[in-house]
Amino acid sequence: DTGMGLERLSSILQGVDSNFDTDLFIPIIKRIEELTGKAYEQGERGFPFRVIADHSRACSFLIADGVLPSNDGRGYVLRRILRRALRFGRLLGIEGSFLYKNVDVVCDIMKEAYPELLEKQDFIKEVIRLEEERFLLTLNDGLKKAEEIMERARQRGDNVIPGEEAFMLYDTYGFP
């Protein structure tokens, strides 16, 4: 083991500059293009695509390995990864659940090396879809709460919200 990782080795063997330009990621990025109606670009403008592609894979593998979204431990890591991908989806104009739609592509890419992904494909999609729906409801409630907090600050003639309220948005509603 050289410690290079599958993605780095693939980029060298395929003669491309980035892990995200390999056949391990391009199909996922193409799927994201279909879902958003936007074209992937290199550089900073493509960053949301790369985050979503990477996080689609991470979530799929974590769930296949038995990790479920929760408020602590590995489950909390999964939840944060999934929520981060959803926030980047919003930057690309996606308002609803979408991450679960990438699972089929991830499983197809990795099926030979990781057949357990195919065996658990439907379960992975369902776990992601349910977590997405829960978070989107929480996020929408949080956006309403944030607007109330900002309105109170405006009424006080203030441009700053109290730290306790900012923390509550993070802790209760999953704001970054």
Residue 24: per-residue pLDDT: 84
Q: How far apart are CA 126 and CA 99, in angstroms?
A: 11
Within 8 A by CB and 6+ apart from 7, the residues are 19, 22, 24, 25
Predicted model pTM = 0.84
Domain ranges of the chain: 5-127
Residue 18: per-residue pLDDT: 76
123 CB neighbour count, 10 Å cutoff: 12
Q: What is the DSSP string of 74-96?
A: HHHHHHHHHHHHHHHHHHTT--S
From the centroid of its chain, how far is CA 133?
Answer: 13
Retrieve residue 102's tokens. 């990438």
Tens place of pLDDT per residue across the chain (176 aa): 456 677 777 877 777 777 877 778 899 999 999 999 999 998 899 999 999 999 999 999 999 999 999 999 999 999 999 999 999 999 999 989 999 999 999 999 999 999 999 999 999 999 999 999 999 888 888 889 999 999 998 999 988 888 999 998 888 887 77
Retrieve residue 63's tokens. 């769930």
